Each structure stands twice: as C-alpha cells, then as structure tokens.
Amino acid sequence: MADASSPGAGMMANEAMVSPDFMQTLGISLVRGRDFDWADDEHHPRVAIVSGSLAERLFPLGNAVGQRIRFGFMPELQDLEVVGIATNARLFDLHNAIAPVICLPCSQHPQWTQQGDLLVRTRLAPKTLARSVGNAIESLGHEYPLRTKTIAQEVSQALVEDRVIAMLSGFFAALALLLAAVGLYGLMSYAVTHGTREIGIRVALGAQRPTVLWLVLREALALGLFGIALGIPCALAASQLIASMLFGISPGDLPTIAAVSLSLLAVALFAGYLPARRASRIDPMVALRTE
C-alpha cells in the first residue's frame, strides 16, 4: 500500500471487504470522515476507510481523509479516496491492537464478494437468533449459512493454541514453585539441625521463642529476596523471547512482577516456618548435650 502521490511510501496492510454499517455492528468508531453507504457502488469513485495506525503511517503530517492511495496491483485499487479513519481494532490478529487495516466497500467490488461472513448485533441471546437469521438467508433461494458462531466462540477458537501454551506454562511454573519450596524447606531444616547447639545456647541465655522463630525466618526471607533479585533481570531478558505470544500484557508488566515476587516471598516464609517453629521449641538442655 502507498500514498498515490509518493511511490516510495509503501507498507503492508490487511484488507477487509465490508458493507455499510460494518463499523457500527462491531462497535468500531470513526475518528474522522464518513462510513460507507450503498451509494458507493461500481459507478462511483473508489473509496476506502483506513485504520488510525495506517493513516498515521501513510500521512504523518496531515489528515488522511480526502487523500488518495493505492492498494496492491489490481487496476481498480490504484486510485482510492480515503473517506474515513476508523479506530484501531483487532480484526485480523488478536495479539496486535494497532495492525494497519484498509476497508473496502463490497458494493464496489462484487466480483470479490461471492461469499463472506454475515455479522449480526443483537440484544438477545445469540443462539436464539441464529436459527431465525439462518431461515431468513435460506428464504432468499440462492444463499445458505455454512455455520453460525458468536464472537466469543470465534475469539475462543482463535486463542486455543495460546491457552494451551498458557496452561502448560502455568503447570511448569507451579511445579517449579513447588520444587523451590521443597528445596528451601530442606535447606532450612538442614541449617536448623546443624545449628541446634547454637540455638540452644541462645535459648539458655534468654532468647524468647519469637526471637528464635524470626532468626530462622529471616534466613529464609534473605534467600527468597536473593532469588528474586537474581530472577527478575533474567525473567525480563527471557520475556522478550515470548513477547509475541503475550496477549493484553507487556513483557515488563510491573503488577505481574510484583505479584510473582510477593508469591515467592510467601512461599519462602511458608517453607521456612516449619523449621523455624521446630527451632523455637528446642529444649536448651537437650541442645547443649548435642555433639
């Protein structure tokens, strides 16, 4: 695609062949210009509506409405007038909210619209309306619906692979968290066992149970904080490799990082609590006899 007056200003864009009120049906608003109408037929000048991202890239210094562009190599698409600018929408890629899109009226290109999708906006339950819409289409005598799906079903089907990957990632993340908890518990238990004599001396000198409890928990928290300090930079670097798979979230999302860090600290506290409680109950006389 390119500005008709600038041969070098080309870029890739997705094309959607639509009818009037397509924007309104999907809830896509027009920033400038007008929508298509049924007067935009083969006997009138060729027109197009572009997304906001496409308009900004083709005409960064001015309003795209009224400008002329060309799309592809078909002769009938070499002199298109931009009559509207629509807000960006996830029409072709759910992961990309600013993908460039050009919309063309199907009434001007009937040779390319032998089949397509009928979008219906309703306040009723979609399933109850589907049968009525299907009967209305079949009553025309030369059309019939192949399948009926709601927007939610279409989105769900498009995200099947992403959800499977997310589920597997969540499983392995939970497994890694469990292994970390078990490892930290074993480490703190080992430290308490080998520090029994020292703990007994502290208790004999007057250390209270909360003091001994905090002594062990402090070490567990220190290990957790060290792991977080080491893991966050590594996670930020690795997240760039899966940035294209993320949906609705950035690789460096601060709330997510904070939530994960707090979860790791909670696991560290939980893993260190049982050894700490055992240490706080040590009998100093028994501990002092320990070799």
Write the DSSP assignment of the chain as a string of letters: -EETT-TT-B---EEEEE-TTHHHHHTPPEEEE----TT-STTS--EEEEEHHHHHHH-TTS--TT-EEE-SS-GGGSSEEEEEEEPP--SS-TT-TT--EEEEEGGG-GGG-SS-------SS-HHHHHHHHHHHHHTTSS---S----HHHHHHHHTHHHHHHHHHHHHHHHHHHHHHHHHHHHHHHHHHHHTHHHHHHHHHTT--HHHHHHHHHHHHHHHHHHHHHHHHHHHHHHHGGGGGG-SSS-TT-HHHHHHHHHHHHHHHHHHHHHHHHHHHT--HHHHHT--
Please report the pLDDT score of residue 85 as a whole number.
Answer: 92
The whole-number mean pLDDT for each consecutive block of 10 residues of the chain, a chain of 291 residues, reads 55 86 88 88 88 89 85 83 90 82 87 77 78 79 76 81 85 89 84 68 67 78 86 80 68 80 86 77 59 50
| pLDDT for res 2 | 57
Q: What is the per-residue pLDDT for 175? A: 92
What pLDDT does 48 receive?
92
Q: Residue 7: what pLDDT? A: 46
User: Given this model, what pLDDT does residue 86 score?
Assistant: 92
